[in-house]
Amino acid sequence: MHVPILKQGDYLIASVQSVLSDADLVQLRDDLADRVGQFRSRGVIIDVTVLDVIDSFATRTLRAIAHMLKLRGAETVIVGIQPDVAFAMVQLGLTLEGVGTALDLEEGLAYLGRLAKRTLKHAK
Amino acid sequence: MQSETRVAVSSAADIVTARQKGRALAMELGFDGSDLTLIATAISEVARNIVDHATEGVVRLAPTNHGSKHGIQIVAEDKGPGISDVTLAMQYGYSTRKGLGVGLPGAKWLMDEFDIDTRVGEGTKITMKKWLR
């Protein structure tokens, strides 16, 4: 299913609404890469609260999205990974190394806000 | 006892169907929370193995018993190229194609029993089980 992407100031919010097939994940990757350029976004939040499975392909794609968007100048934060899903990922030995994560949308926004502040400080 | 559920697997959408049916059966059998997620994730990995390497195959889901133990059995079978070196394929981080090399060894970790029967040129049959605790 297509993932809607909302623009909120400097940020994009991709809110996953239902289970995603491999093809949907790849579509999300391409859509986000486009939108970040279109809206000159600084941060991207991917909300995966509804996902009941994050397997090796999903992990790899989320990681690829984050690294790709970083190269386009945007930080990515994945929010809403459920406890059972986190447990299965750990069992599988999957990590989201180098990718920001936060508990929920609110924490994700706060995470991006902190990153932006830090960048501003460095720039001064 | 419920009969076997059969899911033909040849596309990304079928991987989702297989894990959803697997989760539904596991729930019916009495598995809960984290076990349901582990089972669904393991099904996702073996189903993807079919799509990536054999193009098409079938995932069969059924209740299983052994003595006083009850659980779920998942069989993923294809008539694909087979795996020439199973030891290597089951090594964590080893990948022939686009994957992380996590799929099959990962599925083994998620389940209680995992068996792989493969013949080059004939196909691969993965049988895995999880027992109710």
Q: How close A7 gets to chain B, by Cα (Å)?
A: 29
Of A75-84, A89-98, B39-48, B99-108, the poorest mean pLDDT is in B99-108
pLDDT of res. B67:
93
Q: Is B7 helix (H, G, I), strand (E, B) or coil?
A: strand
- C-alpha A3/C-alpha B24 separation (Å) is 24
b/e map B85-106, b = 16+ CB within 10 Å = eeeebbeeebeeeebbbbbbbb
Task: Write down the pLDDT at residue B97.
Answer: 59
**Between B19, B23, B110, which is nearest A92 by CB?**
B110
B100: chain A residues, CB-CB within 8 Å: 56, 59-60, 94
DSSP SS3 for B60: strand
> Can you tell me the mean pLDDT for B51-61?
93
CA of B105 vs chain A CAs: smallest distance (Å): 8
Closest chain A residue to B19, measured at CA: A53
Q: What percent of chain A has pLDDT over 90?
A: 80
- Per-residue pLDDT averaged across B97-101, rounded? 58
User: Is residue B108 within 8 angstroms of chain A, CB to CB?
Assistant: no
In this structure, what CATH number is given to the domain that contains residue B101?
A: 3.30.565.10
Cα torsion A83, A85, A88, A90 to 10°: value is -70
Going by C-alpha positions, the residue among A43, A40, A38 that lies closest to residue A14 is A43
Sign of CA dihedral A46, A16, B32, B131: negative
Q: Is B97 on the interface with A (CB under 8 A)?
A: no
Q: What is the pLDDT of residue A121?
A: 80
pLDDT tier, B95 (very low <50, low <70, confident <90, very high otherwise): low
Task: Name the A residues in 95-124 with CB < 8 Å from any B CB.
Answer: none
Above 70 in pLDDT, residue B2? no
In total, how many domains does chain B have?
A: 1
CB nearest to B15's CB, from A22, A82, A88: A22
Taking contacts as CB-CB distances below 8 angstroms, the residues of chain B near A59 are 100
What mean pLDDT comes out for the span A56-64? 93
The pLDDT score that the predictor gives to residue A73 is 92
The pTM score is: 0.90
List chain B residues with CB under 8 Å of A91. 38, 106, 109-110
**Range(s) of the domain holding residue B51:** 5-131
E strand or H helix at A116, and its extent?
helix A105-123
Instruction: Put residue B6 in one of left, alpha, beta given phi > 0 → left and psi -120 to 50 → alpha.
Output: beta
B37 CB within 8 Å of a chain A CB: yes
CATH superfamily of A5-123: STAS domain (3.30.750.24)
Closest chain A C-alpha to B96 CA, distance in angstroms = 14
* Position B51 pLDDT exceeds 60: yes
A92 interaction partners in chain B (CB closer than 8 Å): 41, 45, 102, 106, 109-110
